[in-house]
């Protein structure tokens, strides 16, 4: 529940405060939807990587022709690259959230 509230604050409230007050200007130029989209695609890609890895290992140990192995290994590498890219997206989105929370903490009290 706390993560959902933090996500809502970072995506809905913080960019508007930055546009009004100028204290959170980096957040107002970011993509707030990225905070929820990157993890959405990371988890299925991780399971696809696991399946692809198991398939590649099964083909490598079964003694099948090199042609099938040369098809399975690039598929595994493709999933590895996708997981890496989505993981970087999650990390960058976490930085955006932390910048938003830090900016909210720096707002003057009324």
Give residue-wise pLDDT tens across range 23-46. 444 444 445 555 667 778 888 888
Mean pLDDT of the chain: 75
Measured CA angle at 11 (ends 9, 15), to 5 deg: 90
| Predicted local confidence at residue 35, as pLDDT | 61
SS (H, E, C) 45-78: HHHHHHHHHHHHHHHHHHCCCHHHHHHHHHHHHH
Q: Which ranges of the chain have pLDDT less than 70?
A: 1-36
Contact in structure between 99 and 26 (CB atoms under 8 Å): yes
Measured CA angle at 7 (ends 96, 34), to 5 deg: 55
């Amino acid at each position: 529940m706390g993560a959902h509230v933090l996500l809502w604050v970072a995506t809905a409230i913080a960019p508007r405060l930055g546009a009004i007050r100028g204290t959170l200007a980096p957040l107002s130029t970011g993509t707030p939807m990225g905070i929820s989209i990157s993890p959405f695609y990371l988890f299925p890609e991780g399971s696809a990587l696991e399946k692809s890895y198991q398939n590649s290992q099964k083909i490598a140990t079964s003694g099948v022709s090199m042609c099938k192995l040369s098809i399975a290994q690039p598929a595994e590498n493709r999933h590895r690259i996708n997981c890496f890219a989505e993981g970087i997206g999650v990390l960058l989105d976490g930085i955006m959230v932390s910048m938003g929370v830090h900016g909210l903490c720096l707002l003057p009290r009324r």
